[in-house]
Chain A
Amino acid sequence: MPSDIDDAALDYLLARAGLSLTAEQKVELKTVYAGIAAMAERVRKPRGRMAEPAHGYGFAEEDLP
């Protein structure tokens, strides 16, 4: 994940999210993009494809017929 984002990429992400931002809000969002990118990098570890997420899907007693 790059540590900065250009206007076109930001506009794409915002459009995809359905958000309509002012020019000022977009400028501020660009300033914190590096922080998000750093977080996204931090959670990626060499763990292999078999490593499961913490949130599992399953059936509780009340889900069973």
Chain B
Amino acid sequence: MSDAIPTIAAAARLIAAKELSPVELTRACLARVHALDGELHAFVHLTEERALAEARAAERAIMASRPAGPLHGIPIGLKDIVDTKDIPTTCGSKFLQDNIPDTDATCAEKLAAAGTVLMGKLTTHEFADGGPSFDLPAPPARNPWNTEHFTAGSSSGTGAGVAAGLILGGIGTDTGGSIRGPAALCGIAGIKPTYGLVSRAGVAPAAYSLDHIGPMAWTAEDCALMLQVLAGHDPHDPASASRPIPDYTALLGSGIKGLKIGVIHHFHEVDHKVSEGTQRGIDAALATFRDLGAELREVQLSPLQDWAACGSLISITERAAAYEEWSRTRLGDFSERMRSRLILGALVSGVDYVQAVRRRRELRAELQQAMAGLDVVLTATQPAEAAKIDAVPKWDLFDKPGFTMPFNVAGYPAISVCAGFGAGGLPVAVQLVGKPFQEPILFGVADAFEKATPYRSQRPALVSTRTAA
């Protein structure tokens, strides 16, 4: 097979045409894992034998008939807070070093049923918070575009693994930006779907009412293919939505002429001014959307700081509740960064929490009103290119509000797509936000952007330099 790393969509077409063997595809991913992961640390647990067995089984089934769907025979990875039957699930924590679940999380079960090849479990910040941490059992993942730099988190291994082609797609989770942040800094696509669309059952909580599960892959189209399998009602998740599941690829390639895109300029130009490289990426993206025939409108929302305060108070409190028992009895066993986040819970009163949840209703209504007459809105995903991994500030949440939390607060779907390269050749991104359960429109816009720009043709240099024969 070619040395080029295929997208899921391209691999699926070749597999369906019996021009690409799932075994060959899996071996190519494994070769990249062996060549690169000693430096990237994307995997905490590689399931090589299982992956090859699953790839062989997929190949047999496909040769005997045809693929069960576009994910059949595709190598993927799961963030290590996703329960996997008979496979260690450590949540990146000392607490769960010996934890081997006896059931799969719903999302793992669905991907397995679709015929994916599980390559292993991917690095995460401890219980999907804090990080990067150097005092955990496994080292933090590093950015394939420059391994001296951070991936963002907490779905750090998924971001690094997809960007470097160790896997073609993976699962991330997102409580305040943990899918979209690593997607942005690693130069890939990642979507936080509408709250409730993908089951959280079997996935370790970070903050119950803000937690989302979603796909990360090289392109928006690949994310759509994965979401098709992941979405759906699950009675084991009390927040699971019961709605018909549309075709998430329905609007791919149909163009975006006449679509209305709102731009929340004040988020990234006033409330938290982004880096020059990121601003250039946003400006170029807006020009691309205009060229594609979209209409751009200005959108004004409450200051980013209001959204951050609301989301942070909810997140801090729900996390402190989830991990209260261990905080009281074994606080010293958490990583320093996770511990620091957990103890913030002592400073938030019950009334503060309820006021935050009352504010949440107001903010969601505000976004709903602002998006009336619009198809999507756009802002930054990250404030700047990836920082050096040893220079990531610990307390950013107080003075530099993130661009992703507003859409966890609202529960609206949001995707990050690569918008070019900034300082040091590191990726920059834009974030597109859709209305609840309107992921097909979001994918259509993201896909049109990716196809109109050259950024999907460039992989991190280390992929070619370190894997050359």
A interface residues with partner B (beta carbon < 8 Å): 1, 5, 13-14, 16-21, 25, 28-29, 32-33, 35-36, 38-40, 42-45, 47, 51-55, 60, 62
Contacts and interface: CB of A to CB of B under 8 A. Distances in A.
Contacts of A47: 358, 362
A13 B444 CA distance: 49
Interface of B: 209, 235, 238, 305-306, 308-310, 312-313, 316, 320, 324, 327-328, 331, 339-340, 343-349, 352, 354-362, 364, 395, 397-399
A16 B238 CA distance: 30
Q: Is the interface of B mostly helix, strand, loop or mixed?
A: helix
Contacts, number: 100
Contacts of A28: 340
Contacts of A21: 331, 343
Given A35-B398, A53-B361, 9 more contacts: A5-B347, A13-B346, A14-B343, A17-B343, A29-B347, A40-B348, A43-B309, A43-B352, A54-B360
A54 B358 contact: yes
Contacts of A45: 359, 362
Contact of B361 (A17, A44, A51): A51
A43 B313 contact: yes
13 contacts: A1-B352, A17-B327, A17-B328, A25-B339, A36-B344, A39-B308, A39-B313, A40-B348, A42-B309, A45-B362, A54-B209, A60-B238, A62-B235
B411 to A, nearest CB: 9
B328 A19 contact: yes
Nearest to A13: B346
Contacts of B358: 43, 47, 51-54
B360 A53 contact: yes
Contacts of B352: 1, 40, 43
A12 to B, nearest CB: 10
A57 B229 CA distance: 30
Contact of B343 (A1, A25, A42, A54): A25
A29 to B, nearest CB: 6
